[in-house]
Amino acid sequence: MRLYARSILLALLCMASLSVSASDEPVWLPLHFETPIPQRPTGGRELHVSPQGHDGGDGSAAKPWKTLAHAVAQLKAGDTLTLAAGQYKENVTLKASGTEKAWIVIRSAPGAQAVICGDDGIVLTLEPGVAFVRLENLEIASGSHGLRCNNSKAPANAPVRDLDVIGCYFHDLRGVGVKLYRVERALVHSCRFTKIPDGGAGFGTGDGGAKDVKVVNCKSWNHNDGQGAAGDSDGFHAEGGAGFLFEACEVRDVTEDGIDCKGGNVAIRNCRVVRAHNGFKLWTAPIRVENCVVQDVAENALKLAAEAGRADEIRVRSSTFVNAGDILAVFSIKGPVGRLSIRDCILAGGRKALIGTWKDGVSLELDADHNVYADSPLLLATSKQKFAPAAWDEFAKATGGQAHARYVASMDELKLEKLAEGQPAPAAGSPAFEAGDPAQAAPADPLGRPRGKKPNIGAY
């Protein structure tokens, strides 16, 4: 009786996953990305699975297998496994690997949507050492975690290498959408994540684990584990490792951070966060942030905790940070930090525009010209001096000149158009209008439109 009831519950969960309406999804901006979806060589068999199939078949289009567990056990390098439309109510473990010239591809049939609904466990598990695998256009729902590498311990567990997750939709899971502990050369491209308590996608471990990870054109929204700021409901996160790119990603309505990255050598470009606890929380330099928008967050639009002994520069360019607790916070620095360079940015509508809380003996070279500050008292990081709007000259002198930076009294004076639509562009008459530095500003805005000879300060 218990088994029957559990089967009924799982079937209802799968039916619910299919009932997620497109109207539940926000209208996304067409953020520009330069990282393409690569072609991968296969050259092996074309195999098929269908909810109407039979595991006694031969895996052909005419005689497809029925279960994914049986199908993935047959895979060899170069094979493509195509899933017919419908629901697959099972948890699956992949042990097979492709090669550099013969990838394994697991995909929905062209024009179809295969939905893998997990049981109580992980919907899709990759065993340690799996390599050269692509997952494409799959819908994954209802398990504890969507996709996970079962290799959190080192050195016993080999990393998963050369993994593509392309065009997949993860939702209504009870843990995390994608969790890749030890992974090298992973691409997560054009995926969507929603209603997942522990967040959209995560990488690495406390002792490293992740190398060369790219998250491109992904959307993550409506994550809430019920723990507020103390929880794990990030849009995207990395626990450790090095070499992270977040490009053209958008996060909305999460109770923790938009992007929380403890890994080093991180680049964030053309990304947007709306309604989170922190916008970007970045832990290890070098850090690059370019062409980003963060708005309506509870705490910090940009929170930096760089351990400067590992690198020497944090660079922020052509971004707009509006309506936050503290706009930019630099904290918990360990050892002498080299350089924080923030240029061509709008910092507006927060309790404080710049803040620092590091220990005595820590030095910081601050380069913060061609910015516009509005409606935010200024707390200078290096000296912890607080400057009211009337003391702008003292702030400018303390930060090395600030010849092209401006402080304005209110958001109204800043004159941002399309803030509600996520494209906060300075209108004519704004102090940020055509006041950017052509030598420092990004050449195009987050939508890929050229900026021209007189760029605006900010993302647009």
Strand intervals (E) in 298-402: 300-304, 313-317, 320-322, 326-330, 339-343, 346-348, 352-356, 365-367, 372-374, 378-379, 386-387
- Give the position of tokens 């987050």: 446
In angstroms, rounded to a whole number, what is the distance separating the alpha carbons of residues 90 and 158? Answer: 26
Compute and round to an integer the Cα radius of gyration of the chain.
24
Distance of CA 291 to the CA centre of its chain: 15
In tens, the pLDDT along 330-363 reads 665 555 555 678 889 999 988 777 665 555 555 5
Q: Are strands 425-426 and 416-417 parallel, antiparallel or unpaired?
A: antiparallel
Q: What residue type is 210 in one-letter code?
A: A
The CA distance from 179 to 182, in Å, is 9
> Quick one: which of 321, 319, 272, 324 has its CA closest to 299?
324
User: Which carries the bigger pLDDT value, residue 224 or residue 401?
Assistant: 224
Residue 435: CA atoms inside 13 Å, Cβ hemisphere, count?
24
Rounded CA-CA distance 106/262 in Å is 31
Q: Say how far apart CA 368 and CA 345 lie, in whole Å.
A: 9
Read off the pLDDT of each residue in 65-75 and give the average, rounded to a whole number: 97
Q: What is the mean pLDDT of residues 390-418?
A: 69
User: Strands 386-387 and 378-379, how do they pair?
Assistant: antiparallel
**Band of the pLDDT at 118, cuts 50, 70, 90?**
confident
CA distance 52 to 49: 8
**Measured between alpha carbons, how far is residue 288 from residues 109, 207, 244, 291, 453 in Å?**
38, 22, 10, 10, 23
Q: Confidence band (pLDDT; 50, 70, 90) for 400?
A: low
* Residue that is written with structure tokens 């089967």 in the block: 7
User: Does residue 449 surpass a pLDDT of 80?
Assistant: yes
Torsion angle of C-alpha atoms 19, 149, 251, 90, degrees rounded to 10: 0
Domains within the chain, CATH numbers bracketed: 35-263 (2.160.20.10), 285-460 (no CATH)
The pLDDT of residue 328 = 81
Which has the closest alpha carbon to 146: 194, 218, 214? 194
